[in-house]
Structure 1
Amino acid sequence: MKQNKKWLMLVMFLVAAVLVLGACSGDKDESENNNDKDNSEENNDTDTEATAGGTLNFAFNAQPPMLDPTGTTATATRDMVRNIYEQLVTFDSEMNVVPMLAESFEVNEEDATVTFELRQGVKFHNGEEMTAEDVVASMERWAAQSAQAISFLSGVTFKADGDYTVIAQLDKIGGIDMFIFADLTQIAAIMPKEVAEAAGDEPLTEYIGTGPYKFEEWKQDQYIKLLKFEDYVASEEPANGLAGKKEAYADEIVFHIVTDASTRVAGLQSGEYHFANFLSPDSVPQLQADDNVVTLPEINSIPGFVFNKKEGIFTDIKMRQAFAAGVNLEEVMHAAYGDAEFYELDPSLMLEGHAWYTDAGSENYDQRDIEKAKQLLDEAGYNGEEVRILTSREYEDYYTFSVVVQEQLKEAGMNIVLDVVDWSTVLEKREDPSAYDIFISGWGVRPTPVQYPFLDSGAEWPGWTDSPEIDALIEDIQATTDENEQKALVEELQTEFWNYLPILKPGNKADVMGHRASIEGFETLLGPVLWNVSINE
């Protein structure tokens, strides 16, 4: 890969510490509390040749709001479309930014450009070859829609230089630019030029990518089916995280929409499903006792109460601070996840061990101070108005959060009501500032602490942060390449995070995924990786 030395040093710093204790998953590090048989590495290290054919049946907890990868940050969309679409660059297993559809990339700080040399001969699912014109159209659409691109790459333009070279022109080279190009929440998906241009700002209606599987059918509330792409052109590099060689061993992947957690568990044990996600921690002992099932509880995400800072009572910072002061976060996390194996109490935006980990602002974390909450409510002029929490039982932990804080904050005099809907409706209603006061969501731990959408005022992300102080700190962190300065700025950022409270973070959580023991080659990296996976039955 062609990169200048300064950029390599910066990337090495940003990934100097592994973000998770093992492989990453979903919206986590593999727990050491699994039985020996529940070690996915051990089960997947095999000298036998992968078995081709069959259908991978995945019991998925929620239906995606769309399959347009740039149109939503929804985990369900992310996990499904990564099989259909690919990016110019992506992450390897240690979260280094590496080529995918690009053969190489070169960062030129003086000219503020990133030059992508494309792999030749890559085919779209419609049979056409990918060229620079397709990439330019796709990247322009992404740059206009991705919250990360709008925040960190504002003003970026793209141009083709021949059939297989694309040049990104930036206003200036920043400290995390390549991480934005590789972002997994609204991926910079490459699609045919005519598809990107026909969709424009509207959601895609044609799902044509370059990935190892192609879209076949979506039966609402039942399943989404993908078929093996027979003409897939794989990278020649060894498989590594989301990069390198991909093989579509299974003939098809069917994501079954199974919103009930107990049904996912039963189907996994019966063999109806090969995979199931977001399993209840209460079900783990039962699954670990089953020799036919492998469980993967992994901590690498954070849940959070997102305050509506555009309309309503939480536009007042004292109301947000009152909510944070009165909640017992340990009780919230224990109620949602049970055993401490499945959660951590931690105020940081990063996992412990990361180069930028800090406990700055922790004096405002898990305060459990009802009297302080009452005082802040008085100062805010609160008079018993309804506090509307938007939540869904499709994520049982989020629903549990809602129920617990509703009860806890009664003592402080807060009148909390719950609006319980399906997850797709949560994603729809959270865009309307008149529809709620709080919604609950979760985020995979980002490669850098400035990439969370709830931090950035310019992102216009639901919750609508508007903090000049946070914005200035993010800009300073992005601009500098000095390690000590970056760390000091991150401490300031996290202190301001706990003062301004764009969200209330209760801790870190483990999402539990399970698969049949007959599955070989399975790995996770911020979601399930379903290529290079075979069924040995």
Structure 2
Amino acid sequence: MLEINRRALAAGSAALALAATLMPGVAPAQDKKTLRFVQAGNLTILDPIFTTAYVTRDHGYMIYDTLFSSDENNVAKPQMVDKYEVSADKKLWTFTLRDGLEWHDGKPVTGEDCVASIKRWAARDAMGQKMMEFVAEMKAVNDKTFTIALKEPYGLVIDSLGKPSSNVPFMMPKRIADTDPFKAIDSQIGSGPFIYINAESKPGEKHVYVKNPKYKPRAEPASGLAGGKVAKVDRVEFVEMPDPTQQVNALIAGEIDMIENVPHDLIPLLKKDRNVQTVNWNPLGQQFILRFNHLTKPFDNLKIRQAAMYAMRQEDFLKATVGEPEFYKVCSAAFVCGTPNGVEIQGDLLKKPDFEKSKALLKEAGYDGTPVVLMQSTTLPVLTNMAPVTKALLEQGGFKVDMQSMDWQTVVSRRARKDPADKGGWSAFHTYAIAVDILNPISANWMVADPAKAWFGWPNDPAMEKLRDAYSRETDPAKSKALALAVQNRAVDQAQYAWLGMWFGPGAARASITGWLKAPVVVHWNIEKK
């Protein structure tokens, strides 16, 4: 009998009974009912509220569901919610769940579960934190209904509850959602279209999911992350294969079905094989960033952070990591070029380095040569070459740099430490965000500047928080855009972090795969193997 989790499915659960009969062991990729997928990184943390890591977010979409989901036009649509109402004064929101929602252990989803889940998510997420500043009370009215009472009207309620990427407000049973948000949960009970099979999953090798036979999808066609989540395969395996060349060879050989991201230099190889296809599943793309640690030397000093900003040149990073110009874009807009808030910085900052200005600022700051402890990820191909470029640019700007190489999961663990850089902490590291995560000052985690709520790096800037608060209250689009620009300008002035250009990269799949949805996240419902 398959064991779903230590606390998992209750004895006699119909879902567990069916899961126990489904293809034990490793299934070949040629099996039409088993989908084998390679993520962009290994999955070790399974709590999508505890971490913003995208691999964990993707795991969350397999087993959890959301109240609202964004469609292919990035418009939030009801998902678990059947209907909602807003009072005339815009201060009371009432949500009614749709019929047939059930946890993997057979218990019904309730309003109490949703209230607890929203609270846990909001404790960790930038949009959730901002929304809760406006919330007077959340409570369950009955088993299928809950309300959110606001102190004053807030225009981002639905956008917040339908946030598509990290952290995603996934719904969990109340007993699980009541877990301290700063402690990882040890249960994988959701209500989503797939069930996690703990007994067959082994971090470092694979994670196994089976179709949830009791999941009731919405009637609407799938669109982005919204609509009907129809699982068309019985089993999904997240295969952990860090070597990108091995991934491509395995795809060509038919040993796996899908790859999340293909290194750009290997795309021509795939295009020569008629049995595989490349899929542009995230057309809005991603943005590279360099995150500074504001708590520890040397980047606890504003002028030293500003010196680092003056040493940056986006195209150096884009050429080193992406290579082909068709797959990247130099863009100095924090909120993504080509989108409503995407206004570029005036001047050459981030586009053309000024090493003399960098050195002058270091001299003004009294820089004593404290090395920048720069964490380099070696297991995410798109990030591997970022840190060496940063090291070269910073050294030209007068810095000393100690680049330390490690796998991505070590970066994810270490970035949470607030120790001095020379005591096991860090000074800077690279990551990236999908575009939908950073379209405005509230959704962009990097912009939070209250150290009690901020993302790793912990900036402290009350003026920034006032601007973000003003943006959250504004309903006029023109004024909102002006406030977004003011937020960007403040981030530049305070050297809060560096955004280093946009990149685009397809995934790849066997030619037999159909139904891969265009969305900011790779999801596995709607996919078939012909």
TM over 0.5: yes
Which residue of structure 2 aligns with residue 240 of structure 1?
Answer: 223
Paired residue for 2:197, among 216, 220, 244? 216
CA separation of 1:499 and 1:296: change in aligned 2, threshold 3 A: farther
Deviation of the 1:350 alpha carbon: 2.9
**In structure 2, distance between residues paired with 1:115 and 1:87:** 16
CA contact (8 A) 2:284 2:435 kept: no
Paired residue for 1:513, among 492, 495, 507? 507
**Counterpart check, 1:270 vs 2:260:** no
CA contact (8 A) 2:219 2:227 kept: yes
**Aligned ranges for residues 276-315 of structure 1 at < 5 Å?**
276-297=259-280, 298-315=283-300
**In structure 2, distance between residues paired with 1:155 and 1:490:** 20
**In structure 2, distance between residues paired with 1:293 and 1:528:** 18
CA contact (8 A) 1:299 1:511 kept: no
Which residue of structure 1 aligns with residue 444 of structure 2?
Answer: 452
Deviation of the 1:52 alpha carbon: 10
Deviation of the 1:321 alpha carbon: 1.4
**Aligned ranges for residues 57-136 of structure 1 at < 5 Å?**
57-108=36-87, 110=89, 112-136=91-115
**In structure 1, distance between residues paired with 2:348 and 2:460:** 23
Kindly report structure 1 stretches of 4+ aligned residues shifted beyond 4 Å: 198-201
CA contact (8 A) 1:92 1:242 kept: yes
Letter in 2 for 1:348: A
The total of aligned residue pairs comes to 486
Paired residue for 1:318, among 303, 318, 323? 303
**Which secondary structure does the structure 1 equivalent of 2:270 belong to?**
helix
Paired residue for 1:410, among 373, 395, 398? 395
Which residue of structure 2 aligns with residue 44 of structure 1?
Answer: none
CA separation of 1:362 and 1:235: change in aligned 2, threshold 3 A: farther
Which residue of structure 2 aligns with residue 186 of structure 1?
Answer: 167
CA separation of 1:260 and 1:322: change in aligned 2, threshold 3 A: same
CA contact (8 A) 1:336 1:397 kept: yes
Deviation of the 1:195 alpha carbon: 2.8
Letter in 1 for 2:449: S
Which residue of structure 1 aligns with residue 121 of structure 2?
Answer: 142
Paired residue for 2:338, among 353, 357, 360? 353
1:274-318 Cα distance to aligned partner (Å, 9 max, x none): 111232100011111111111135452111110001121111111
**Counterpart check, 1:394 vs 2:396:** no
**In structure 2, distance between residues paired with 1:80 and 1:511:** 21
1:470-520 Cα distance to aligned partner (Å, 9 max, x none): 211111111111122112112222222222222111101113311111001
Paired residue for 1:229, among 207, 212, 215? 212
Which residue of structure 2 aligns with residue 504 of structure 1?
Answer: 498
CA contact (8 A) 1:250 1:533 kept: yes
Which residue of structure 1 aligns with residue 417 of structure 2?
Answer: 432
1:217-267 Cα distance to aligned partner (Å, 9 max, x none): 230211110011011111122222211112111111000111111111111
CA separation of 1:334 and 1:164: change in aligned 2, threshold 3 A: same
Which residue of structure 2 aligns with residue 204 of structure 1?
Answer: 185
CA contact (8 A) 1:90 1:182 kept: yes
1:91-126 Cα distance to aligned partner (Å, 9 max, x none): 111111110000122334725222111102212111
CA contact (8 A) 1:97 1:182 kept: yes
Deviation of the 1:207 alpha carbon: 0.8
**In structure 2, distance between residues paired with 1:58 and 1:89:** 26
**Counterpart check, 1:175 vs 2:155:** yes
**In structure 2, distance between residues paired with 1:127 and 1:443:** 36
Letter in 2 for 1:166: F
1:193-221 Cα distance to aligned partner (Å, 9 max, x none): 23323666531111111111011123021
CA separation of 1:511 and 1:465: change in aligned 2, threshold 3 A: farther
CA contact (8 A) 1:84 1:209 kept: yes
Paired residue for 2:143, among 141, 159, 163? 163
**In structure 2, distance between residues paired with 1:355 and 1:109:** 29
Letter in 2 for 1:455: M
Deviation of the 1:273 alpha carbon: 0.9
Q: Which has the higher contact order (CA 8 A, sep 6+)?
A: 1
**Which secondary structure does the structure 2 equivalent of 1:313 belong to?**
coil
Which residue of structure 2 aligns with residue 487 of structure 1?
Answer: 481
**In structure 2, distance between residues paired with 1:123 and 1:527:** 24
Letter in 2 for 1:454: W
Letter in 2 for 1:389: L
Which residue of structure 1 aligns with residue 431 of structure 2?
Answer: 441
Paired residue for 1:422, among 403, 407, 415? 407
1:4-55 Cα distance to aligned partner (Å, 9 max, x none): xxxxxxxxxxxxxxxxxxxxxxxxxxxxxxxxxxxxxxxxxxxxxxx99511
Which residue of structure 2 aligns with residue 465 of structure 1?
Answer: 459
**Which secondary structure does the structure 1 equivalent of 2:245 belong to?**
helix
**In structure 2, distance between residues paired with 1:412 and 1:355:** 34
**In structure 1, distance between residues paired with 2:494 and 2:436:** 20
TM-score where L is the length of structure 2 = 0.87
Structure 2 portions without partners, runs of 5+: 1-29, 420-424
**Which secondary structure does the structure 2 equivalent of 1:332 belong to?**
helix
Which residue of structure 1 aligns with residue 315 of structure 2?
Answer: 330
**In structure 1, distance between residues paired with 2:195 and 2:335:** 35
**In structure 2, distance between residues paired with 1:249 and 1:397:** 31
Identical amino acids, percent of aligned pairs: 28
CA contact (8 A) 1:222 1:257 kept: yes
**In structure 1, distance between residues paired with 2:365 and 2:327:** 36
CA contact (8 A) 2:285 2:504 kept: yes
